[in-house]
């Protein structure tokens, strides 16, 4: 569902659940953040999220791992750790059960890698397979990363390269190189756990994960809610192999144009950019990286902690005073 339609259908729920009436809901519908956060006590808050989708790759195990990593990213975007997850499964009658076994194994091993546990789930019959997780995580109530926490001077880091949506779309069309698809699967299957640990160590208070609303779309949500501009260096943005070429060949998924219409009014181009590259930055991503706003005093700690945890992040820009605009330089 696109950002405009989503905002419309969620509006009535905000009228039913007024934030002031539920003081232990630290992040809820009013914030439109990556996950909900509920305070249990002064030391522990629960993070709750859910995500599932149809296959984006043919291999069942890889699909399960990608879907699980994607669902758990919402916990990491809040600065938390994964505790447990429930499988969410839609599966057609008559399809080989071995396919579902592979999907579930891929998801389970990824949850195990995250230090969590699969504790149950729910299945229904559907015409198309779909898989994902309902995930529960934990975070300290005073150390939650949210979309509204960026401040002028914060340095922006991105923990995964962009372009997976283009590669998987090209693969569906039979136009992707096998090495490019393998590289994209590796990126999508990688956990954002190192970045979450690094942002906690650096006392970073703003983060979001890059998924269906695109890099520009999710960056704009951070800019708008934090009431800052995000100045992004185009030359610093990492791309998965093949992404630029598939953009030039105009192999965009359908969600790209939807994102383009909604987010272009919030985008300021401060240099000449090819139209295909602009749309690449507006293309939906699956299990993308975290965009983290790190205060200047925490940059060294962020980078050292990330490296020690086996992760990586690219410096891509900074937050400056502004009104919620994305500026590409």
Give pLDDT tens digits along the chain (329 positions): 666 676 667 667 666 667 678 899 999 887 789 999 999 999 999 999 999 999 999 999 999 999 999 999 999 999 999 999 999 999 999 999 999 999 999 999 999 999 999 999 999 999 999 999 999 999 999 999 999 999 999 999 999 999 999 999 999 999 999 999 999 999 999 999 999 999 999 999 999 999 999 999 999 999 999 999 999 999 999 999 999 999 999 999 999 999 999 999 999 999 999 999 999 999 999 999 999 999 999 999 999 999 999 999 999 999 999 999 999 99
Predicted local confidence at residue 267, as pLDDT: 97
Name the pTM for this structure.
0.94
Please name the CATH architecture into which domain 155-328 falls: Alpha-Beta Complex (3.90)
- Give the residues across from 87 on adjacent strands: 121, 133
Sign of CA dihedral 140, 146, 149, 154: positive
Predicted local confidence at residue 1, as pLDDT: 61
What homologous superfamily does CATH list for 3-139?
PurM-like, N-terminal domain (3.30.1330.10)
Predicted local confidence at residue 11, as pLDDT: 67
DSSP 260-310: HHHHGGGEEESS---HHHHHHTTS--SS--EEEEE-GGGHHHHHHHHHHTT
Q: Where are the domains positioned within the chain?
A: 3-139, 155-328
Distances (CA, A) of 198 to 131, 141, 318: 29, 17, 18
Cβ 66 vs Cβ 188: under 8 Å: yes
Residues in the chain: 329
Number of helical (H) and strand (E) elements in the chain, helices listed first = 11, 13
Predicted local confidence at residue 2, as pLDDT: 67
304 contact partners, CB below 8 Å, separation of at least 6: none
């Amino acid at each position: 569902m696109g950002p405009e339609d989503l905002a419309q259908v969620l509006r009535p729920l905000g009228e039913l659940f007024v934030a002031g009436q539920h003081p232990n809901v630290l992040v809820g519908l009013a914030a439109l953040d990556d996950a909900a956060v509920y305070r249990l006590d002064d030391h522990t808050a629960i993070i709750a999220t859910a995500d599932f989708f149809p296959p984006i790759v043919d291999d069942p195990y890889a699909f399960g791992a990608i879907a699980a990593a994607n669902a758990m990213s919402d916990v990491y975007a809040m600065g938390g750790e994964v505790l447990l997850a429930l499988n969410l499964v839609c599966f057609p009658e008559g399809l080989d059960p071995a396919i579902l076994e592979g999907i579930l194994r891929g998801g389970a091993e990824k949850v195990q890698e995250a230090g969590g546990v699969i504790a149950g789930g729910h299945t229904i019959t559907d015409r198309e397979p779909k898989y994902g997780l309902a995930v529960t995580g934990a975070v300290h109530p005073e150390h939650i990363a949210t979309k509204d926490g960026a401040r002028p001077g914060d340095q922006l880091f991105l923990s995964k390269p962009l372009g997976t949506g283009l590669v998987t779309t090209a693969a569906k069309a039979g136009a992707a190189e096998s090495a490019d698809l393998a590289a994209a699967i590796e990126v999508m299957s990688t956990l954002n756990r190192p970045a979450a640990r690094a942002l906690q160590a650096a006392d970073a208070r703003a983060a979001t994960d890059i998924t269906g609303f695109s890099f520009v779309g999710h960056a704009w949500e951070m800019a708008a809610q934090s009431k800052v501009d995000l100045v992004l260096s185009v030359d610093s943005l990492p791309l998965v192999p093949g992404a630029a070429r598939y953009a030039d060949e105009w192999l965009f998924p359908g969600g790209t144009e939807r994102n383009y219409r909604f987010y272009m009014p919030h985008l300021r181009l401060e240099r000449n950019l090819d139209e295909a590259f602009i749309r690449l930055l507006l293309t939906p991503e699956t299990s993308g990286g975290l965009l983290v706003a790190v205060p200047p005093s925490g940059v060294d700690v962020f980078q050292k902690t990330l490296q020690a945890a086996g992760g990586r992040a690219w410096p891509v820009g900074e937050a400056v005073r502004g009104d919620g605009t994305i500026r590409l330089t």
